[in-house]
């Protein structure tokens, strides 16, 4: 597992370096820094780095993980589970976006959730930096929530092995950890809603229909509430 994490870390760092080279090449290719030859060499170096990174992120065909229970991958220690396909959504990268990408990468590494964070961004097909950061925050929140949930269970297990005492340190710490986990789960769910609002602009359209019915008749009235691109009918 450590080898796969290190391989993914190096590959993502390489991709960030390639992005910086392409941004610099773009500046060299423009006035007043016009240096088309230097820009061409930088683009060649960037392409070489990108090719190497793609190879490092590619799964071995002979060791491809299969989908197991719960829709998760069944993996071995030698498989690169933290290597989902990366999508560059910045059409015109510059030094600022390249630096921002590198910063996001280092933050994911610091929190040790790079696999979940990149996979979350890939899953929602993040279209801009805000969506990428939200996806990374969701991954970090999920990791912390589950970590504190495990701590709560560990303390509870220790409590059960001792004589029952409601005020024992294990019971208190278990309650604290469970409370923290619950709060983090709530934050995670709010983050998902925030992502939906970012994508829809927070707009909600309510459709009201008026129907006239003659005496003795019956009517079935349906309306719709439209949020963003999705339309859910309510009866």
Per the structure block, which two tokens stand in for 187?
């934050």
pLDDT tens per residue, range 122-143: 898 888 888 889 999 999 999 9
Q: Does residue 68 register a pLDDT over 60? A: no
Which of 53, 88, 111 is the last residue in one of the domains?
Answer: 111
In a domain, 92, yes or no: yes
Which of 111, 137, 153 is the last residue in one of the domains?
Answer: 111
Greater confidence (102 vs 142) lies with 142
In a domain, 106, yes or no: yes
Q: Does residue 234 register a pLDDT over 60? A: no
Residue 36: the pLDDT is: 83
Greater confidence (98 vs 125) lies with 125
Residue 188, CB half-sphere, CA atoms under 13 Å: how many? 17
Query: Phi/psi of residue 16, each to 5°?
Result: -65, -40
Report in angstroms the alpha-carbon separations of 101 from 98, 184, 206. 5, 26, 39
Which of 58, 82, 111 is the last residue in one of the domains?
Answer: 111
In a domain, 228, yes or no: yes
In a domain, 137, yes or no: no
Distance CA 189, CA 196 (A): 11
Q: Based on the fold, state whether residues 209 and 107 are members of the same structural domain.
A: no
Distance CA 128, CA 38 (A): 30
Residue 75: the pLDDT is: 46
Please state the domain count of the chain: 2
Indicate the burial class of 13 (C-beta count within 10 angstroms; 0-12, 13-18, 19 or more): middle
In a domain, 196, yes or no: no
In a domain, 130, yes or no: no
Q: Give the range of the structural domain holding residue 221, as residue numbers without chain letter.
A: 204-234
Q: Based on the fold, state whether residues 1 and 103 are members of the same structural domain.
A: yes
In a domain, 210, yes or no: yes
In a domain, 171, yes or no: no
Distance CA 76, CA 64 (A): 10
Give the pTM.
Answer: 0.56
Closest-CA residue to 136 (of 112, 153, 155)? 112
């Amino acid at each position: 597992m450590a080898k796969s994490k290190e391989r993914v870390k190096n590959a993502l760092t390489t991709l960030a370096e390639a992005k910086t080279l392409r941004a610099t090449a773009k500046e060299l290719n423009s006035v007043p820094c016009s240096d088309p030859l230097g820009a061409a060499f930088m683009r060649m170096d960037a392409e070489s780095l990108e090719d190497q990174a793609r190879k490092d992120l590619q799964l071995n065909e002979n060791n491809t993980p299969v989908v197991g229970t719960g829709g998760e991958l069944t993996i071995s220690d030698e498989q690169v589970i933290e290597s989902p396909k990366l999508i560059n959504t910045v059409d015109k990268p510059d030094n600022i976006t390249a630096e921002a990408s590198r910063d996001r990468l280092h933050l994911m590494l610091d929190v040790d959730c790079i696999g979940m964070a990149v996979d979350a961004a890939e899953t929602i097909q993040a279209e801009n930096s805000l969506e990428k950061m939200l996806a990374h925050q969701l991954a970090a929140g999920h990791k912390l929530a589950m970590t504190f949930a495990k701590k709560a269970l560990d303390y509870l297990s220790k409590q059960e092995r001792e004589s029952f005492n409601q005020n024992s340190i294990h019971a208190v710490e278990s309650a604290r950890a469970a409370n923290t986990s619950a709060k983090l789960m709530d934050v995670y769910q709010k983050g998902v809603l925030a992502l939906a609002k970012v994508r829809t602009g927070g707009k909600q359209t309510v459709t009201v229909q008026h129907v006239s019915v003659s005496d003795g008749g019956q009517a079935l009235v349906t309306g719709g509430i439209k949020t963003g691109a999705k339309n859910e009918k309510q009866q």
